[in-house]
Structure 1
């Protein structure tokens, strides 16, 4: 059984060995990437341009390792385009 997260818990502070120890919510991505709103995360999903996600019932979740891989890929793409 997992322990509930405190309301003021910032997902960036829950990192252990570079990855959170739980699946991420759209709100976590908003906080981590300083996005304007969760609608941005949902728009990325509709356009298939954001990190891969999966549904748990009606809730959208992100695997921290997949988010890390997506960030790495985006960084590499940005570097390749700048060259």
Structure 2
């Protein structure tokens, strides 16, 4: 995780969620703070990746790059969809 300047914040969560977070943190030998920061880092990284992938998809669609009906059927058949 980053060593950048930190600020304090707070939010409301159900007692059950906090208990689950604490249990996970304890099992990992980490603090609640560490686990919440790790979760935030992970979601921020995922969101950045997702936004790039969406833009790639939009660019491909703008160029008319679509799967044919036959390609879609083949994939569905491959995975039993």
TM-score, L = length of structure 2: 0.33
Greater share of residues in helix: 2
Greater share of residues in strand: 1
